[in-house]
Every structure is written in structure tokens, then in C-alpha cells.
Chains A and B, each alone.
Chain A
Amino acid sequence: MLRPFVNFAFAMPEQTYLEAIRAGLQEEMRSDSSVYVFGEDVALGGPFGVTKGLSEEFGVNRLVNTPISEGTVMGLAIGAATAGLRPIVEIMFIDFITLAMDQLVNHAAKLHYMSGGQLRIPLTVRVQCGISGAMGAHHSQSLESWLAHVPGLKVVMPANPADAKGLIKSAIRDDNPVVFVEHRGLYWSKGQVPDGDHTVPIGQAAVLRQGEHITIVALSSMVVPALAAADELAKEGIFVELIDSRTISPLDVETIVQSVKKTSRLIVVHEAVEQGGIGAEIVARIQRETFYYLDSPIIRVAAPFAPVPAAPTLEKQFLPGKERIVKAAHHAIARG
């Protein structure tokens, strides 16, 4: 008879990933009047509805619709940051962050350093990435590894609604430029989100499942097939320790190292192209710390070295999924 009460007391509302981001934005904008959002159509809710309703509450003065001038809008936000605002820039697709790279890389990332600490750039850049809906090569990329290569930028990629809310709040509060990489395919995924001022620290991975046979590190949308793969492997008696990286830079190397020392095997899964993807950085760092613990070479499951094709059949082939992860796990186990 106590159970209903327990459920009520610890109830966590269920939200979509998109709603969770909006809730995070709303809470931060309520508690800090220096938070502004700049982007194309943000006052109208944006193409996916992330900022829906916010301009009604905060006004078009704080949800600022911009022309299609990503580079200048990025620079404007950075300049506003130097003058005391806490800006958020929305870039509609990560594919278009290319247009803003000069300002992001040469100014946002470097002004604190080059000024010897005089300037702070409390900027949040929101982008959505990834494959969903056969949109083709200019609306489907995953470019997070480019950003992780830039000293001075932090890069986060939440994979579930709770982390989306927690990380957007942390990103906004961080006095450094943080690129918050959303995944379009996750926008309508649901999950429980803690009430109240829920934050997730930047630079901290999450162990989603414990297991002793093989460690899988997954990024963003790849957590979903990784979980499915873990379920399937469990039926075979292979128990996966699944880690959601959550932050790409600074990487939580320690959590992964501790896991691999236990399991002796590692697979890294990301949707981005394998060559030069963040998986390469993870592999390089982990092998440095765990070389003598490994029973088999580390495997990356990632996209092929090609632009994202438009045909839905080709796109499906391009996207890493449960089957490839299971196959990689079998391979890693067989080697041992």
C-alpha cells in the first residue's frame, strides 16, 4: 500500500529531449536577465520548436531573430559577451557552423587566453546535428571533433532529456564558450527529467550500465543502438559496461579508464565519420593509460569516410547501428 506514495514522492516528470532543453533555457532566462538567445527564427520557436513560447514570456528583445549571417551573428554574440551579456547563439544545423568558424575559433575560443584573462566569453552555442529524415549531406553531419580540437571551446552532446536539461544549464552558466550539440533524431525521445534546478557537470561521463566483459563508449544518438546491443549481448551472456560520454571536450578519460581496466575491452561508437572523429582521441588516450590491460585492440564503430548520402536506403547503410556494435563486440571477445 506504500508504493503509490513512494512513486508520488519521487515522481519525475517525463519530457521530450526538446522540451527538456526548452525548460533549461526558460529556467536560466528567468533567473538571469543577462541571458539572450540569438538565431534564425528563434522568436518564432525555431524550425523544431525548441524556443517555442519563450519570446511570449521574455520578449523579442531577448529572443532575437537574426538574418542569415551566421558569422556576424556569432561575432555579435561574442562581442556582447565581452560587454557583460550571457548570450546563446543557435545555429540551425551544425553543417552551418562552418560559416561561423572564424569568430568561434579565432575569437570566442581565444579571447580569454590572448587577453591574459581580462576578457570572459560566457557564450553558449546551440547546434543540432546528425542523421534524421534523409536530409542529405548539408543537413546531417556530425562535426563535433572539429570543435573538440580547438583549445578554449567546451563541447557537450547530451543523449537523453535529463542530460539535455542538465547540460544546457551548465553550459549557460559556464563562463567559457560551450558548444551544446543536440541530436535532431533525439528531439522527440522521452525520458524522466528531475524537477528543480537540475544540472549536469561538464566533463563528466555517465555509466549507464555496469558489466564486466566489454566497455562501450557511445556518443549522443549512438547510445540508443548501444543500449539495444547491450541487451542483445546480455542474452548471450556477454555483459556490457555502457558509458555515455556526454561531454566531448574536456573528455572524462578517467571514467573510461577505470572501466577498461575492469573489462579489458573497448568499443567506441559515434555517428560521425570514423576518420578524425572524436573516437580517435578517445582511443589514443585510453590506450595510453590501459595498454597493458587490453585483451584485444580497441574498435571504433562509426560512419564511413563519405558525405552523408540522400537516398534513405544509403543513409541507413551509412548510419552505425545495433548490428555493427554487436558484431564489434563479438570480434573483440573472439580476439581475447
Chain B
Amino acid sequence: MAKKNSRALTELLRRMWLIRAFEEKVSALYAERQIVGLLHLGIGQEAVAVGCCSLLRNDDYVFGGHRSHGHAIAKGADINRLMAEIAGRASGYCGGKGGSMHIVAKDAGFITATGVVGGTIPLALGAAFAAKEKKQNQVAVVFFGDGAGQAGPFHESLNIASLWRLPVIFVCENNGYAEFTPLSAHTKIERLAQHAKTYGIPASTIDGNDLFAVRDAMAKAVEKCRGGKGPVFVECLTHRLRGHYEGDPAKYRELSQLAEWKKKDPLARVARLLKSKKAITDKELEAIESEARERVEKAAEFSMSSPWPASSDVDDHVFATT
């Protein structure tokens, strides 16, 4: 493997590890009740986040859902401010007003997450519309799960994006479950890419745990969008290795199914590939993990030592003032 390629790949693995370490730390802090609220972790879905966002510019617009810590990190959000936000501290991106499901890291181009399933899909269309008017070849990307595929705005958005040739990339993380229910109990349509095709949008279904497959599909999508050729839909088959939310015992999932998915862990696959090409040593791999954990540890220290928001903040920012 060429040195340049292995360096680039190692960097991507670093980012995936940063997300993994971050989510595991947030989970630990939550278990200790140092973080409270409702948390939805993306452990196991790192390849989608990093594979997609690594192909974007800072000024491209990214929108997420309730499981978007990884999306924000992959887009370039500062993990200190991100963790502080999840911990409800004043030093968080949103001054503690947003929390885990409503992350906004505007300077990194992560516009917003949302607590409403599929809620940001129409928002992404709007950002794409603005991008089209501004003529600077920006694109909008929106992440959502298989559960959003049955919501009205999903279909309305596919229709309008196609009709108006908007530069928006729909990234569906099909992890097989909408909350506690498998997709098959929600719809007869097994692959959401089919819906996109119904509305005339080019769509593909790929292995979302294969970083290269994700990057390949995304590179093509980005090229199409920047070239003004309209929206693209990428369905990534993946799995969340934890429950729907932290605390969910996930009894609805077979242990054997979980074991199968663990074998497909996206981080391990990249590590295996690098090792097989003799592009990395075990020691270097361990260093990547420990560096990630160190950075995350610092973020935790920063967050836990940050003050809570002032009580006067409770009705601050209800309205923007000129």
C-alpha cells in the first residue's frame, strides 16, 4: 500500500476511534450519572459518519438526528465543547440548552441534530436550496435511520429534492431497527433506496460498515451534487452495537445477531486491512486507540469541571436580537 494511502487511511481510522472512544466515555459517565438525559449512541456506525464527512468541505451543510454525536465529530466539531454540551454545561456548543439530541456546531458545518425522527430531512433540503442559489457548489447532507422511511416528510422531501434538483445527499443508516422494532414490522419495503428510486433519485444500498464502500458511494454522490446533477440517496446497512438509548436492555435483539454484527465492526475491519497490507503495526494500532481515549479523557475533564449554565440563561435566546 502506498505510503500516502496508508497515512490517509490511518487518519480515517483515528477519526473513527475518536468517535468510538467518545461514545464509550459518554456512556460511562452516563452510567455514573455524571451525565443525565436521553442518550442515543452510534457505536458500530462510525464508518458511515467518517466515510461520509471525510469527503465534505467545512462549508457543506450536515444535518443529523437523535444519534448524531458521531456525525458532529466526523464533520469537525470540537469534542470538548461537544461533550460539555451533552453534559449540559455552559461551555457546551449550545450553552447547555440543546443537549445530546439537539447538537449544533455551526462553525464546523454541523447545522443541527433533532429529536424528531426524520425532522432534519426537510431542513437539509432548505440548506441545499440556499446552496444552489449561492452558487458556490456547496452540498447538504442529512443522516437519518430506517425508521424515518415511513414518515411523511421523508417522502415529501424525496419528491421535492428530485423535482427541484437540489444538491442534497440523503444518507440512510439502515441498522434494521426503528427503536425497538425491526424494519420488517414497519414496512414491506426492505430497502429504503427503493423509495428514492420511486421519486427519480439515483440510489444505492451498500455495506455501511465498510469504510471504503461508504467513501466510494459518497465520493460519487458528492461529485454528482456539486456538479448540479441533483440529489443522491445512499443507504448504508449497519448496526448499532448498543440499545436504542443508553439503558435500553435491547431484549428485542437476538444475541446471535449482535455477535454477527460485532464481527463486522468497522474499526476492526480497517485495522485488519492495514495490517494485512503491512501498513501498520500492532503497537501503532494500540497507540491510535490510546490517543483517542486520552483526547476523550481530556474532554471529560473539561466538561465535568465546567460550570452549569447561569439560572438567568433559562429564558435567554428565546428570540434573536438584532
Min C-beta distance of A65 to chain B, whole Å: 10
The answer for the CA separation of A87 and B125 in the assembled complex, in Å, is: 13
Per-position 1/0 for B49-64, Cβ under 8 A of A: 0000000000001010
Q: Say whether A313 faces chain B, with CB atoms less than 8 Å apart.
A: no
Min C-beta distance of A275 to chain B, whole Å: 26
Q: Which residues of A contact B129 (CB under 8 A)?
A: 76, 79-80, 83, 85
Q: Which residues of A contact B96 (CB under 8 A)?
A: 116
| B319 touching A176, Cβ below 8 Å | yes
Q: Which residues of B contact A83 (CB under 8 A)?
A: 61, 111, 126-127, 129-131, 134, 140
* Binding stretch for chain B, among A99-107, A182-190, A283-291: A99-107
| A74 touching B122, Cβ below 8 Å | yes
The answer for the CA separation of A77 and B128 in the assembled complex, in Å, is: 11
Q: Which B-chain residue is minimally distant from A33 (CB atoms)?
A: B133
Q: Which residues of B contact A67 (CB under 8 A)?
A: 156, 159-160, 163
| A118 touching B126, Cβ below 8 Å | no
Q: Which residues of A contact B95 (CB under 8 A)?
A: 116-117
Q: Which residues of B contact A72 (CB under 8 A)?
A: 121-122, 125, 152-153, 156-157, 160
Q: Say whether B124 faces chain A, with CB atoms less than 8 Å apart.
A: yes
Q: Which residues of B contact A255 (CB under 8 A)?
A: none
For A69, A73, A74, A154, which residue has the most chain B Cβ atoms within 10 angstroms?
A: A69
From the candidates A69, A80, A116, A152, name the one contacting B94 in the complex (CB within 8 A). Answer: A116
| B126 touching A112, Cβ below 8 Å | no
Name A101-127 residues within 8 Å CB distance of B: 102-103, 106-107, 111-121
| B104 touching A71, Cβ below 8 Å | no
| B125 touching A79, Cβ below 8 Å | yes
For B152, B319, B321, which residue has the most chain A Cβ atoms within 10 angstroms?
A: B319
Min C-beta distance of B148 to chain A, whole Å: 13
Q: Which B-chain residue is minimally distant from A75 (CB atoms)?
A: B122
| B98 touching A114, Cβ below 8 Å | yes
The answer for the CA separation of A74 and B153 in the assembled complex, in Å, is: 10
Q: Say whether A84 faces chain B, with CB atoms less than 8 Å apart.
A: yes
Min C-beta distance of A118 to chain B, whole Å: 4
| B104 touching A114, Cβ below 8 Å | yes
Name B238-275 residues within 8 Å CB distance of A: none
The answer for the CA separation of A120 and B320 in the assembled complex, in Å, is: 7
Q: Which residues of A contact B119 (CB under 8 A)?
A: 75, 102-103, 106-107
Q: Which residues of B contact A71 (CB under 8 A)?
A: 122, 152-153, 156
| A118 touching B130, Cβ below 8 Å | no
Q: Which residues of A contact B317 (CB under 8 A)?
A: 112-113, 115-117
Interface residue tally for chain A (C-beta within 8 Å): 41
Name B94-149 residues within 8 Å CB distance of A: 94-98, 102, 104, 106, 111-112, 114-116, 119-131, 133-134, 140
Q: Say whether A201 faces chain B, with CB atoms less than 8 Å apart.
A: no
Name A144-179 residues within 8 Å CB distance of B: 151-152, 154, 175-176
The answer for the CA separation of A76 and B163 in the assembled complex, in Å, is: 14
Q: Say whether A82 faces chain B, with CB atoms less than 8 Å apart.
A: yes
Q: Say whether A267 faces chain B, with CB atoms less than 8 Å apart.
A: no
Q: Say whether B5 faces chain A, with CB atoms less than 8 Å apart.
A: no
The answer for the CA separation of A106 and B152 in the assembled complex, in Å, is: 16
Q: Say whether A66 faces chain B, with CB atoms less than 8 Å apart.
A: yes
Q: Which A-chain residue is minimally distant from B125 (CB atoms)?
A: A76
Q: Which residues of B contact A151 (CB under 8 A)?
A: 318
The answer for the CA separation of A113 and B96 in the assembled complex, in Å, is: 10
Q: Say whether A278 faces chain B, with CB atoms less than 8 Å apart.
A: no
Min C-beta distance of B173 to chain A, whole Å: 20
From the candidates B126, B319, B321, name the one contacting A82 in the complex (CB within 8 A). Answer: B126
Min C-beta distance of B179 to chain A, whole Å: 18
The answer for the CA separation of A85 and B129 in the assembled complex, in Å, is: 9
Given A85-B130, A106-B116, A113-B318, residue A119 in contact with residue B111 (CB < 8 A): yes
| A119 touching B104, Cβ below 8 Å | yes
| B94 touching A114, Cβ below 8 Å | yes
Min C-beta distance of B156 to chain A, whole Å: 4
Q: Which residues of B contact A79 (CB under 8 A)?
A: 63, 111, 120, 122-130, 140
| A82 touching B111, Cβ below 8 Å | yes
Q: Say whether A92 faces chain B, with CB atoms less than 8 Å apart.
A: no
Q: Which residues of A contact B157 (CB under 8 A)?
A: 72, 75
The answer for the CA separation of A283 and B116 in the assembled complex, in Å, is: 35
Q: Say whether B170 faces chain A, with CB atoms less than 8 Å apart.
A: no
The answer for the CA separation of A26 and B187 in the assembled complex, in Å, is: 47
Give 15 pairs: A residue, B residue, CB < 8 Å, sorted on A: A36-B133, A61-B133, A72-B153, A75-B157, A79-B63, A82-B112, A82-B123, A85-B133, A102-B153, A107-B112, A115-B317, A116-B93, A116-B94, A118-B93, A176-B319
User: Which of A's residues lie within 8 Å of B, judged by CB?
Assistant: 36, 61, 66-67, 69, 71-85, 87, 102-103, 106-107, 111-121, 151-152, 154, 175-176
User: Which of B's residues lie within 8 Å of A, judged by CB?
Assistant: 61, 63, 92-98, 102, 104, 106, 111-112, 114-116, 119-131, 133-134, 140, 152-153, 156-157, 159-160, 163, 316-322
Give me the 5 closest cross-chain CB pairs, A-B, nearest first. Answer: A79-B126, A75-B122, A79-B123, A83-B130, A116-B94
Excluding A75-B153, A82-B126, A83-B140, 8 further A-B contacts by CB distance (< 8 Å) are A67-B156, A79-B140, A83-B127, A85-B126, A85-B129, A85-B133, A114-B98, A119-B112
